Chains A and B, each alone.
Chain A
Amino acid sequence: MNVPAAAYVVLSAILFFIGIVGVIARRNPLIQLMSIELLFNSANLALVAFARTWDANVGHIFVFLVVTVAAAEAAIGLAIVAIVFRRTTFVDVDEVATLKG
């Protein structure tokens, strides 16, 4: 039983768009970070699908790299959220504009 590779790629694209909507539309920084995780995951899905399609192992190595970067990003992003919340009790990402030029 075979599944067309395009199905996986389209599923990946749909998940990516959902994640982008989450990053753009939500104002809660935690939900924005989770949406970024969705973006990483959709890219991973496309990479795994292509690796399976072409029997290339390098796609799995790419996914390994992306997982590492996602872990680092989550740790640093949550640390930034925590430290900003410690200094100013913000409820909205738009209110954090200290670095605005």
Chain B
Amino acid sequence: MIGFAVLALLLIASAIFTVTARKPVYSVVGLLVNFVALAATYLTLQAEFLAVIQIVVYSGAILILFVFVIALLSSGTKAFDIGPDRMPRVVWPALLFGIVGAGGIAFAAVRTVTVPVAVAGQTGQAGVFGSVADFGNALFLQNILPFEVTAFILMVAVIGVVLLAGDEIPPRRRPRRPRESISPPREPIAR
């Protein structure tokens, strides 16, 4: 319980820092802390493979992409200098909605079951919930179609990114001369 409280505080604090940071680079740092804390939270929920995925994909790939784009865009003139922010107008209604929503969810879920926190030494064996073997079994034997859908999504994303951010479109070859049309030219439509 204490571990969960620490992780929750870390998650919320890093998320708030990410949203309210002045520069995108500071946001990236906050987001990194958030991702790592979330991976630790997954570990308390016995989802060890997802914790590894969280570290590798989010902290390893997506954040590096963000850092690259920030470095690319802010190398020239002063880029992304934040102007007048909408934060002061939004923060109080959002806070109100957040507190009411979280309170409502807590009130509705008070009678649900509790989650046993993972015991050290229990995870990692085959057949244990959340282990790599368990996840692979569920992914490749029972849910093979979603796995292939993810492959398709990634392929479409790669093609889209190459089309968007690639170089200029190479000049087309000269279009062919249109063939002589067989049908006589159309009469203009009378209006």
Given the complex, which residues of A lie within 8 Å of B53, measured CB to CB?
63-64, 67
Give the CA-CA distance A65 to B152 in the complex, in Å: 11
B contact residues vs A (CB 8 Å cutoff): 1, 4, 8, 11-12, 15-16, 18-19, 21, 24, 27-28, 31, 34-35, 38, 41-42, 44-47, 49-50, 53-54, 57-58, 61-62, 65-66, 69-70, 72-73, 77, 79-83, 85-87, 89-91, 94, 97-98, 101-102, 105-106, 109-110, 112-117, 129-130, 134-135, 137-139, 142-143, 146-147, 149-150, 153-154, 156-158, 160-161, 164-165
Q: Is the interface of B mostly helix, strand, loop or mixed?
A: helix
Partner of B86, one of A24, A48, A53, A61: A24
Partner of B105, one of A13, A21, A25, A63: A13
Contact status B115-A52, CB under 8 Å: yes
Q: Which 5 A-B pairs have the closest CB atoms?
A: A72-B157, A6-B109, A17-B98, A22-B19, A2-B114
Given contacts A2-B115, A17-B98, 8 further A-B contacts (CB under 8 A): A1-B117, A3-B44, A8-B41, A18-B19, A51-B47, A52-B45, A71-B61, A75-B65
Contacts A48-B42, A68-B153, A74-B62; A37 near B98 (Cβ below 8 A) = no
Determine the residue in chain A with the shortest Cβ distance to B88. Answer: A25
- Interface size on A, as a range, is 35 or more
Given the complex, which residues of A lie within 8 Å of B142, measured CB to CB?
57
Give 1 or 0 for each of A2-19: 1 = CB within 8 Å of chain B CB.
Answer: 111111111101110111
A58 within 8 Å of B (CB atoms): yes
Contact status B81-A91, CB under 8 Å: yes
Given the complex, which residues of A lie within 8 Å of B137, measured CB to CB?
57
Find residues 65-81 in chain A having any chain B CB closer than 8 Å to their own CB.
65, 67-72, 74-76, 78-81
A contact residues vs B (CB 8 Å cutoff): 1-11, 13-15, 17-22, 24-31, 33-35, 37-38, 41, 44-45, 48-49, 51-53, 55, 57-58, 60-61, 63-65, 67-72, 74-76, 78-83, 85, 89, 91-92
Contact status B19-A52, CB under 8 Å: no
